[in-house]
A and B are shown apart, each in its own frame.
Chain A
Amino acid sequence: MSIDITTAAKVAKLARIKVEDDALPALAEEFNAILGFIEQLEEVDVEGVAPMTSVTPQRLKRREDVVMDGDQQEKVLSNAPDAREGFFAVPKVVE
């Protein structure tokens, strides 16, 4: 698989990262290098091997159904560029 400039531009757009047109060829090259590495990995026969999900044997940590967080509106909003009446205020996004 090879990533062309159009695909690179699409990936950048999906990631909401602005990439100037003249930077796209280099970006596509980088993607291809990464994919090349993945293709190399795909040569290994992993038939019947379960995907590894953790380096050490661990069980997913659970929490109890107890409210022990929240109630910190001011802190939650403190980094927002714009907040009004307890809400984050963002440029209009209605359809």
Chain B
Amino acid sequence: MLDLTYETPKPKVIAGAKHDWELVIGLEVHAQVASNAKLFSGASTTFGAEPNSNVAFVDAAMPGMLPVINEFCVAQAVRTGLGLKADINLWSAFDRKNYFYPDLPQGYQISQLYHPIVGEGEVLVELGDGTARLVRVERIHLEQDAGKSIHDMDPNMSFVDLNRTGVALMEIVSRPDIRGPEEAAAYVVKLRQIMQYLGTCDGNMQNGNLRADVNVSVCRPGDYEKYQETQDFSHLGTRCEIKNMNSMRFIQQAIEVEARRQIAIIEDGGEVVQETRLYDPDKGETRSMRSKEEAHDYRYFPCPDLLPLEIEQGWVDDIANDLPELPDEKKARFISDFGLSDYDASVLTAETAAAAFFEKVAEGRDGKLAANWVINELFGRLKKDEKEITESPVSPDQLGGIITLITKGDISGKIAKDLFEIVYTEGGDPAEIVEARGMKQVTDTGAIEAAVDQVIADNPAQVAKAKENPKLAGWFVGQVMKATGGKANPKAVNEIVAKKLAD
């Protein structure tokens, strides 16, 4: 696929009291589909609206109201599937998952248990140390989100807002291919990145637009390899599912804590019970959601309100032809076309906006220099101001202008940093600023020679020392740079100082 090759990372090993243990992790990621309207109604999906204002009677499950599917949400799921190189099922169907909860007025969630729209795919998860895990995706299905219950507004009541009820979700189910807490977080990061590239999910975890259920089990070294050979789950330990996590940090903590809990049980001669658990970040523990266990008899059956969802191959092909360049491809191109390091290419392709900014800066210029300026100066400065790349006061043209001045030799790297700060805070055309404020580098050797002569004449004692120890030449260079206000070409100064001291 790509000419980027990675080693497979080693699984995380946790030392128990008696043995070493390995982790086996699978994730169910719930990604809110980026759409204007809900999956089966014409109500808005906008976050943060007045409670119960984005609610159609379908969402409120008023009697007689029937769901009508939003075709764009279907296209988004297909697009996501194609982005994960997955099989698209031209025939899929909706089922009812039955349970009662106040934020689910229908008494069931419309989902796709038996015939999901997307089948097997894969995600390449890079871990930053030159290793990467290829995680298999088992399926993606479309389903409705539930509403939101607020429990802290009244001591005896829960308050229910149905604005999120019926918003389209993609549930992306991975195979148990993930072998450590860091890998799990990196997998979610990569999924989010791909969906942001595709424009199918904004990935905002704080707003709950991306949440993960994590299945964790532990096994002895060697067992996982047996599972891989046979695909027989009996080689793996009993798993527990930790529900509804919406931060990368909590995902990692919860996995670690849950694995240690299971190891302690097994080493104590006990057995892990398959169940749903919640992670409590304040106490740093997972605990059983026993009260929900009985409700887990979901009694799925095909939704009688909806015909099977049949899509045409031509329609899928149109979506496929319209896919943007994806992160792995963009990164590979940045490395080959601009000569960037793996790390720099990763940083620049993390977000599409940053990648597009960089490409404009790098166009017709030195790619590595452009990457340095975007990553070190621009990103650093934006971070200080807590600004996003889209809010950058410096445009790609302006930053490109600064880089052009450096490569032409008009300004030194040091002056360029001052110039960047001026452009960042005051705006303006870099070339004009350099002219107007006399920031141009002095390359006129006559002028530099005069400055060097002056410094040498003023410091006879240093000259004597420097003649014995050539390393002291740096001090003269510094003095000359100071005397010229940093505008002298450092290379020229170095040469002239060396020559004069040798005389």
Contact = CB atoms under 8 A, between A and B. Distances in A.
A14 B42 contact: no
A16 B278 CA distance: 25
Contacts of B161: 86-88
A87 B102 contact: no
B35 A94 contact: no
Contact of A63 (B52, B55, B68, B149): B68
Contact of B159 (A61, A66, A71, A84): A84
Nearest to A93: B158
A72 B289 contact: no
A87 B72 contact: no
A40 interface: no
Interface in B242-286: 278
A9 to B, nearest CB: 12
* Category for how many chain A residues contact B: 35 or more
Contacts of A13: 294
Interface string B118-161: 00000000000000000000000000000001110111111111
Nearest to B306: A60
Interface string B32-47: 0001110001111000
B52 A73 contact: yes
Contacts of B55: 70, 72-73, 76
Given A73-B50, A88-B52, A94-B158, A60 B151 contact: no
Interface residues of B, number: 56
A18 to B, nearest CB: 13
Interface in A62-82: 62-73, 76-77, 82
B283 to A, nearest CB: 14
Contacts of B52: 73, 76-77, 86-88
Contacts of A65: 35-37, 70-73
Contact of A70 (B56, B158, B291, B308): B56
Contacts of A72: 53, 55
A4 to B, nearest CB: 16
Given A14-B297, A67-B37, A89-B159, A60 B307 contact: yes
Interface of B: 35-37, 41-44, 50-58, 60, 68-74, 93, 98, 100-102, 149-151, 153-162, 278, 289, 291-292, 294-295, 297, 299, 302, 306-310
Interface of A: 10, 13-14, 16, 53-54, 58-73, 76-77, 82, 84-95
